[in-house]
């Protein structure tokens, strides 16, 4: 870990991500004294603001996006004093000199957060280098999208690597900053009871669902050029799969954790032209109702025809000793009935039930790890219903709940970006994604898209407010499995 940065440089400082996540997260870190008092925060974007204008902009963002119970109002003036601003057209090399001048002495130990369009990565990196903002103690955080396929991702990574070595490159996947995702590691590797069963002998299948109730929500240009496979599966969902499936790292540090994740990603069985039809389902929402409110279909929102998928369901396999034969079902979509992100670990049934002759039905145990909207871990176990059992033994599935909100009621729940920004400032790369991980993910996703093209697959329509096309149900039910809705 390097020493803490003296300055933080935010690209895209007036964008939606900055308003909703970055500025509120940095304010929380400031209010709790978790960042150095002299850390200067410099924002840059196209908007023609000055320091005073940006501070007013940031103040409005805090009022809008920080809940009142978290709003430490006495800390606002001190936070706003940290903020500086330089207008910049990232494609214009001449503008970076003013940016370098504004950063000043902090350039010697600087953290950069880069949230920009993929086509601007190369000129931005070149401009930073020319302005002296890429020295040996400068690290850069890269927000997605990092390309649209393996080739474009490599081009971006090559451009970054020409100036910033891998050790100083922090690729951001905000799911890795969520408390429940990190609790998945604690659940697996800090509790002896799970590890003996965490393999093909003990687990029948795994489900990972990330569902959204929203539609395009102002992301028209980006999402229609991306689709759900590249927007959600390639990064968030494959990272969750890797954390579920990886071997125990020797240490909780960046190299050990990421070494084990990349082994999983490289062990994913390709879904190619031969298996795309049987192992994938794609859909696009039509008009319907979400939460009782009528909503338009995707093409109506977009304003033109499109074959972009808003729903994906996949059947994946990790071909290694631990997971041989265990299916991993992945599902993500927009305009679903509920907003939820969860991992389901379905254990195998007991080999013999001594209760069957007395009428007791035994269900296999299930572990539910919910990331949002609530953060909780639930283990479903069998218990006997109270009674004298004269008409047979009745067994019932009951939950053992760990609500993180309740269990840690005295601890403040943090936005994922609070942790990730603090780790970027302090130089800890453990929860960031390494280049070989990204490229393994893209290689797997590119094969799926090639399979869709080769087989002429287009999205099946599903009404908004439902769980996707009926073919997604068939994907699991032909294996005797039902989605956990």
What phi and psi, each to the nearest 5 degrees, are found at residue 251? Answer: -140, 155
pLDDT tens-digit series, residues 164-179: 999 999 999 988 888 8
* Catalytic residue of the set 30, 84, 205, 236: 236
Distance of CA 259 to the CA centre of its chain: 19
CATH for the 7-143 domain, from 3.40.1110.10, 3.20.20.70, 3.40.50.720, 3.40.50.11540: 3.40.50.720
* Domain positions in the chain: 7-143, 176-412+435-478
> What single string gives the DSSP state of each residue in 419-459?
HHHHHHHHT--TTSB-HHHHHHHHHHHHHHHHHHHHTT--P
The verdict on whether residue 144 carries a ligand-binding annotation is: yes
Tokens coding 469: 């096309």
The verdict on whether residue 178 carries a ligand-binding annotation is: yes
Torsion, CA 78, CA 411, CA 421, CA 82, rounded to 10: 0
Is position 30 annotated as part of the catalytic site?
no
In CATH terms, is domain 176-412+435-478 a member of 3.40.640.10?
Answer: no
pTM to 2 decimal places: 0.91
The verdict on whether residue 259 carries a ligand-binding annotation is: no
The verdict on whether residue 154 carries a ligand-binding annotation is: no
What's the pLDDT at 388? 61
Contacts 24+ apart (CB under 8 A), 471-477: 471/281, 471/283, 471/313, 472/281, 472/283, 472/311, 472/313, 472/331, 475/279, 475/281, 475/313, 475/315, 475/329, 476/315, 476/329
**CA of 160: how far to CAs of 168, 285, 382, in Å?**
10, 37, 53
The verdict on whether residue 334 carries a ligand-binding annotation is: yes
Nearest to 306 by CA among 231, 233, 223, 234: 223
All residues at 6 or more sequence positions from 288 whose CB lies less than 8 Å from its CB, including other chains:
294, 295, 297, 335, 463, 464, 465, 466
pLDDT tens-digit series, residues 228-278: 999 999 999 999 999 999 999 999 999 999 999 999 999 999 999 999 999
In b/e form, how buried is each residue of 35-51, taking b as 16+ CB within 10 angstroms? beeebbbbbbbeeebeb
**CA of 22: how far to CAs of 72, 76, 421, in Å?**
16, 15, 8
All residues at 6 or more sequence positions from 421 whose CB lies less than 8 Å from its CB, including other chains:
8, 22, 25, 26, 29, 113
The per-type count for the chain, helices as H runs and strands as E runs, is 18, 17
Coil/strand/helix, residue 346: strand
What's the pLDDT at 1? 41
The verdict on whether residue 46 carries a ligand-binding annotation is: yes
The verdict on whether residue 212 carries a ligand-binding annotation is: yes
Residues of the chain with pLDDT under 50: 1-2
């Amino acid at each position: 870990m390097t020493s803490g940065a003296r300055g933080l440089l935010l690209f895209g400082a007036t964008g939606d991500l900055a308003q909703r996540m970055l500025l509120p997260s940095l304010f929380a870190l400031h209010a709790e004294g978790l960042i150095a008092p002299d850390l200067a925060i410099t924002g840059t974007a196209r908007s023609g603001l000055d320091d005073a204008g940006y501070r007013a902009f940031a103040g409005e963002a805090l009022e809008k996006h920080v809940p009142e119970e978290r709003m430490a109002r006495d800390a606002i003036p001190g936070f706003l004093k940290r903020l500086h601003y330089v207008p910049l057209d990232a494609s214009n090399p001449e503008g970076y000199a003013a940016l370098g001048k504004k950063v000043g002495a902090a350039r010697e130990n600087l953290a950069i957060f880069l949230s920009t369009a993929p086509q601007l990565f190369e000129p931005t990196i070149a401009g930073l280098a020319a302005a002296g903002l890429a020295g040996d103690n400068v690290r850069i955080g890269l927000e997605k999208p990092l390309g649209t396929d393996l080739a474009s991702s490599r081009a971006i990574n090559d451009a970054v690597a020409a100036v910033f070595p891998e050790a100083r490159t922090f690729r951001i996947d905000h799911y890795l900053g969520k408390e429940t995702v990190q609790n998945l590691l604690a659940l697996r590797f800090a509790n002896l009871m799970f590890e003996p069963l965490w393999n093909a002998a003990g687990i029948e299948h795994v489900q990972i669902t990330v569902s959204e109730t929203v539609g395009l929500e102002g992301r028209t240009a980006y999402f229609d050029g991306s689709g759900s496979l590249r927007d959600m599966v390639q990064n968030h969902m494959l990272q969750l799969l890797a954390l579920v499936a990886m071997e125990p790292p020797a240490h909780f540090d960046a190299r050990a954790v990421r070494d084990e994740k990349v082994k999983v990603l490289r062990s994913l069985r390709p879904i190619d032209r031969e298996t795309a039809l049987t192992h994938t389902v794609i859909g696009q929402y039509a008009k319907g109702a979400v939460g009782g409110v009528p909503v338009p279909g995707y093409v109506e929102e977009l304003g033109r025809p499109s074959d972009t998928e808003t729903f994906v369901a996949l059947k994946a396999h990790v071909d290694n000793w631990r997971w041989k034969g265990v299916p991993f079902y992945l599902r993500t979509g927009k305009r679903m009935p509920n907003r939820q992100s969860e991992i389901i670990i379905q254990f195998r049934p007991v080999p013999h039930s001594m209760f069957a002759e007395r009428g007791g039905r035994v269900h296999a145990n299930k572990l539910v790890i919910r990331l949002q909207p609530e953060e909780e871990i639930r283990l479903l176990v069998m218990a006997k219903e109270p009674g004298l059992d004269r008409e047979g033994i009745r067994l019932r599935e009951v939950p053992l709940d760990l609500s993180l909100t309740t269990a840690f009621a005295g601890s403040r729940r943090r936005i994922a970006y609070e942790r990730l920004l603090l780790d970027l400032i302090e130089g800890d790369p453990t929860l960031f994604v390494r280049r070989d991980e990204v490229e393994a993910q893209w290689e797997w996703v590119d094969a799926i898209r090639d399979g869709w093209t080769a087989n002429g697959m287009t999205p099946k329509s599903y009404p908004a407010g439902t769980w996707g096309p009926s073919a997604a149900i068939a994907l699991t039910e032909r294996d005797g499995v039902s989605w956990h809705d």
